Amino acid sequence: MKKIEILKKAVSLVVSVGTAKVVKGIIESNVATETITDKVTVAAASAAIGGAIGELTSQYTSNQIDEMVIFFQKIKDRKNSTEEN
């Protein structure tokens, strides 16, 4: 596995877990859970929403890393091209 792929996996994991935690906190702070049914359904919905948003932010982060790699590769190529001339 390339170094960049390892970096992408690590950063995406952190972003995904952090996003899910934020979503869970927002839901818990704003939704009353008075019964056991409320607690179970809100917890399940929170996990589903957090997971879905976490997956999207993970994909976004991966794409941003790809763009950064392309950007730095262009700079490196330009520098190498200049040195050859």
> CA angle, 15 as apex, 61 and 8 as ends, to 5°?
50
Total count of domains within the chain: 1
Domain extent for 78: 3-84
Place 85 in a pLDDT band, splitting at 50, 70 and 90.
Answer: low
Q: What are the pLDDT digits (tens) for 16-74?
A: 888 888 988 899 899 999 999 999 999 899 889 988 998 899 899 999 999 999 999 99
Q: What is the pLDDT of residue 50?
A: 86
| CB atoms closer than 10 angstroms to residue 78 | 10
Q: What is the pTM of this model?
A: 0.71
Residues in the chain: 85
